[in-house]
Chain A
């Protein structure tokens, strides 16, 4: 059978080429994956390397004399006017008695954060009986001292070029040797709102703002998106109009997010007169942004429900609505939820549209409601990245780590939900 042999020979002749191609493709794939992992690794390494130190903060231990003469000169304590600052300064002077002269003292006061006097005030406000006693407190050091301790300020640089003078460095050194200086976990980062002082700045306000926005977004976009998907997929007649709607939804998903911000500014703030910088408006804008994503994901999930299940239900005499709500929806739900959570995590990471509706303002207070002025985590990152202080650089990275943590949790939730709700048929 000569033909057989030639066929076999032809096949064999082509084999090395095929193998080579396969090998090349495999190598290319591995290279691409490796490059991706490498970039990710570099990204995380630099982020964590930069941001990890922000979770620590340098604190000074001071013995603060809560003198009645200073705090309540007329015999009455007035928290608004009492000179807490003076108490902190006095404590510092007692700690370093050698410091003399106006100029030197002023320099000395700069090694402690202005947050120290707030801390003393809060202490006294919480327990007025402490008046007249001496309290030993750990108060935050100024951000420059913190940077020095963390090694971000080089003491060998010429004095005029660094934010701390030789004297200040010497005092910090003395305090450290006396055991009066310590780095501890930076709780302020999680309990405070934004601040001009890096050592007092926290992400609580931004996190709360983001949570309020996501709440609004989820309450609106999930039901609306799922309802629209069900209608388009199960009830809407297929004609030119439904085609047009489909094309437009797909296009909307690709519209740059800042355009939604402009729309929100025009409609929600200028026309509907909702408050600026409010999580309510942010949530509405993000709803517009996530709706197309949720509709598309939900339609895909509905389409993935096998027709045999629909037919079975229809064949038993279920109405179209019953088929949808008894069979299609439960089976499509994991996919819909996944789409919704992915849309939400996109919304969580969005900053551009929020800039347009005033959520980029410097807001110190932690928002307590949907209409309080607020900012969001990504916008906070943007604001901090824009600040000149060295200490904000590490806080920027820390805020990014927190944001990524939230995104990770959301995506994990999506995976877990899908795994748990998935039903085999």
Chain B
């Protein structure tokens, strides 16, 4: 699909969506994702609903991301509250993961990526010159789509973050951090007797909880989760979702998900992305019961894949 076509879209009064009840989903998806004429002008850089949070902790303003010539995210403004779970939903390639990766500057590792706009964490710009991305990522942790434990022991997996950041003065303290992190990730009972075994020997769901334990071991303030359950079965998914319920007492959680049920279950607010644009943000209940934008409605009712 072409993003440039989106930016210099010709104003046109066509309905943004094809007729209802499509017979072939894929065709519709392509059709929709290729052209939603007038969407940029219609949104005018502000999403429908309420992008503000009562107690904002991370604030993104007018964020644009370019991968080379590809304008991947356009004028996204969103507030993320303290100790709140916010879900980013939208069809594939809509920029939700890209936005997520802006929040801990993981996009820095992609050479062609360029980020403009303003993102603050606790009032401070995270893209300012003095900000070391290494320090930022200790505050904004990340859990990835595919469980990716290091090919080391379970203990070393969790201890890695505290070690590189020098969080523990001695072995006892490190043991303590590892133990409590595994406990909070709900994994301790399953692994307490086999901490020396490789992290990769665990099952997929356990590996993902190990990754969460690894992330919370450095005591971050925000946890970013990029489709953390997409590679897991329903039981493992349920466990992770329960875990998120507990974790949001201490952390702000931003989760990208393709499962609307999951978004409905775990999040307080939901942001709907479409083709690099933030279309609608609101309380979860309102998004799923009374979406204001046509695109949001089509997506949550399953008309856009």
Contacts and interface: CB of A to CB of B under 8 A. Distances in A.
Interface of A: 237-238, 306, 308-319, 322, 326-327, 331, 423-425
Contact of B148 (A312, A317, A319, A423): A312
Q: How large is the interface on B (under 10, 10 to 19, 20 to 34, 35 or more residues)?
A: 20 to 34
A316 B214 contact: yes
Given A311-B148, A317-B164, 19 more contacts: A237-B111, A238-B111, A306-B148, A308-B148, A311-B142, A312-B144, A312-B150, A314-B106, A315-B104, A315-B142, A316-B137, A316-B161, A316-B214, A317-B135, A317-B136, A317-B137, A317-B138, A317-B161, A424-B151
B148 A309 contact: yes
A57 B211 CA distance: 68
A317 B200 contact: no
A312 B211 contact: yes
B165 interface: yes
Contacts of B111: 237-238
A316 B160 contact: yes
A423 B146 CA distance: 18
A315 B215 contact: yes
B106 A315 contact: yes
Contacts of B141: 315-316
Contacts of A309: 148, 150-151
B213 to A, nearest CB: 12
Interface in B151-168: 151, 160-161, 164-165
Interface string B128-149: 0000001111100111101011
Given A318-B134, A319-B134, A313 B150 contact: yes
A316 B104 CA distance: 10
Nearest to A424: B200
A359 B23 CA distance: 79
Contacts of A319: 134
A308 B134 contact: no
A309 B109 CA distance: 13
A8 to B, nearest CB: 26
A112 to B, nearest CB: 65
A331 B151 contact: yes
B218 interface: yes
B206 to A, nearest CB: 15
A310 B109 CA distance: 10
A423 B138 CA distance: 27
Interface string B200-214: 100000000001001
Contacts of B151: 309, 331, 423-425
A313 B150 CA distance: 8
A316 B144 contact: no
Top 10 A-B pairs ranked by shortest CB distance? A315-B142, A317-B138, A308-B148, A317-B137, A423-B151, A316-B161, A425-B151, A312-B148, A317-B134, A319-B134
A318 B164 contact: yes
A308 B160 CA distance: 16
A314 B109 contact: yes
Given A327-B150, A424-B151, A315 B144 contact: yes
A183 to B, nearest CB: 56
A423 to B, nearest CB: 4
A306 B134 CA distance: 21
28 contacts: A238-B111, A306-B148, A308-B148, A309-B150, A309-B151, A311-B144, A312-B144, A312-B148, A312-B150, A313-B150, A313-B160, A314-B137, A315-B104, A315-B142, A315-B143, A315-B144, A316-B164, A316-B214, A317-B134, A317-B137, A317-B161, A317-B218, A318-B134, A318-B164, A326-B164, A423-B151, A424-B151, A425-B151
Contacts of A326: 160, 164
A306 B142 CA distance: 17
A348 B159 CA distance: 44
B179 to A, nearest CB: 18
Contacts of A312: 144, 148-150, 211, 214
B97 to A, nearest CB: 12
A312 B136 CA distance: 15
Contacts of A314: 106, 109, 137
Contacts of B200: 424-425
Contacts of B143: 315
Contacts of A331: 151
B243 to A, nearest CB: 18
Interface in B211-235: 211, 214-215, 218
A239 to B, nearest CB: 10
Contacts of B165: 317
Interface string B105-141: 0100101000000000000000000000011111001
Nearest to A312: B148
B207 to A, nearest CB: 10
A181 B80 CA distance: 97
A26 B106 CA distance: 49
Contacts of A308: 144, 146, 148
A238 B211 CA distance: 31
Nearest to B108: A314
A326 B156 CA distance: 11
Nearest to B145: A308
A317 B165 CA distance: 8
Contacts of A424: 151, 198, 200
A308 B151 CA distance: 11
Determine which residue in B109, B214, B215 has the highest number of CB atoms from chain A within 10 A of its CB, and name it. B109
Contacts of B164: 316-318, 322, 326
Determine which residue in A237, A314, A322, A327 has the highest number of CB atoms from chain B within 10 A of its CB, and name it. A314
Contacts of A318: 134, 160, 164
Nearest to B147: A308
A310 B142 CA distance: 13
B133 to A, nearest CB: 8
A311 B151 CA distance: 14
A325 to B, nearest CB: 11
Nearest to A308: B148
Contacts of B161: 316-317
A235 to B, nearest CB: 12
A310 B146 CA distance: 13
A304 to B, nearest CB: 13
Contacts of B144: 308, 311-312, 315
A104 to B, nearest CB: 79
A86 to B, nearest CB: 73
A316 B106 contact: no
Nearest to A316: B161
Determine which residue in A310, A318, A424 has the highest number of CB atoms from chain B within 10 A of its CB, and name it. A318
Nearest to A425: B151
Nearest to B109: A314
